[in-house]
Amino acid sequence: MSGRLDGKVVLINGAGSGLGRESALLFAAEGAAVVVTDLIPERVDRVVDEVTAAGGQAVGAKADVREPQDSVDAVALAVDTYGRLDVLMCSAGVPEEGFGTLAFEEISVEGFTSMLATNLTGVFLAARAAVPVMKRQRRGTILAVSSMAGYVAYPGFPGYAAAKHGVNGLVKGMSLSLGGDGIRVNALCPAHGMSANFAMPPDAEVLGKSYEQMQPWDAAATSIPLKLDRPPTLRDNANAALFLVSDESAYISGVCLPATDGGNLARTSIIFPGDLGGDAGVLPPRLAEEISEA
């Protein structure tokens, strides 16, 4: 049975955990040869082992998306190992300094610029490294993992919203600049079903679960308008990513696709605990406890 990515070579940065890891596992299962990079070498090795243990193809390397040469080296690893590069997925990301607990004027210049360096400039650097190879092939796909914060602001995350709005703008601009060379560029903008590891230290255990999976699921209690009998998961977002990097979306470019939105965009924003009378940006106590104990 053929896979949706048979014969494709995919480079995913930030693939040691979260959506990057989930996409690496899914894409490999769909026939892709996967190049895994992450800032944490142990996470790289673990994902490569997971892919190969399941019968897929994968190589990996430590890479910091803030360093231009690391992206160049990652592209070279893909080409040297597999002879080409069909897909770049930019999944590396970091949260706002203080994770929503700081007043705006307390956010440091260093924290703000460091977050931008990963979440926005990192996308530019990775794409800049991949484009020469894709131009020679006259074909390629770039997928940036943005956020629903690229559409609306999250309480306590002003810089993060700025970065993700920037990613969406960069994607639209690149699609115009690169379309003549057969290169598609899109963004995935998840709302829910994202990694609980995002709220944890970089060296924390990889949970492979969404925030919503870290607590008992009650569809009636959630702020998500769509009511289903299970919580949104990382795989829900990875499935959307799979569509955007596959040939099924061959004529989609310059699109920022809301994923796992569940109807939130219809009312223009997401309800957070802080919007209901608590502290803006602070996780619900039960969820914070689940994450701390994991």
Q: Pick the catalytic residue: 82, 151, 154, 160?
A: 160
**Residue 42 pairs with which residues in a beta bridge?**
none
Q: Within a 10 A sphere around the Cβ of 185, how many other Cβ atoms?
A: 27
Catalytic residue flag (residue 160): yes
- Residue among 16, 13, 14, 19 at smallest CA distance from 209: 19
Inter-axis angle of helices 68-82 and 122-137, nearest 10? 30
**Alpha-carbon distances of 272 from 85, 151, 224, 279, rounded to whole Å:** 39, 16, 10, 9
Given a contact cutoff of 8 angstroms between Cβ atoms, the answer to whether 230 and 67 are in contact is no
**Residue 195 pairs with which residues in a beta bridge?**
210
- The conformation of residue 107, written as its DSSP 8-state character, comes to S
Report DSSP letters for 213-268, one per residue.
Answer: GGS---TTTSS-SS--SS---HHHHHHHHHHHHSGGGTT--S-EEEES-TTGGGGT
In angstroms, the CA 170 to CA 199 distance is 26
Which helix (DSSP H) or strand (DSSP E) does residue 174 occupy?
Answer: helix 158-178
Classify strands 9-13 and 87-90 as parallel, antiparallel or unpaired. Answer: parallel
Active site residues: 160
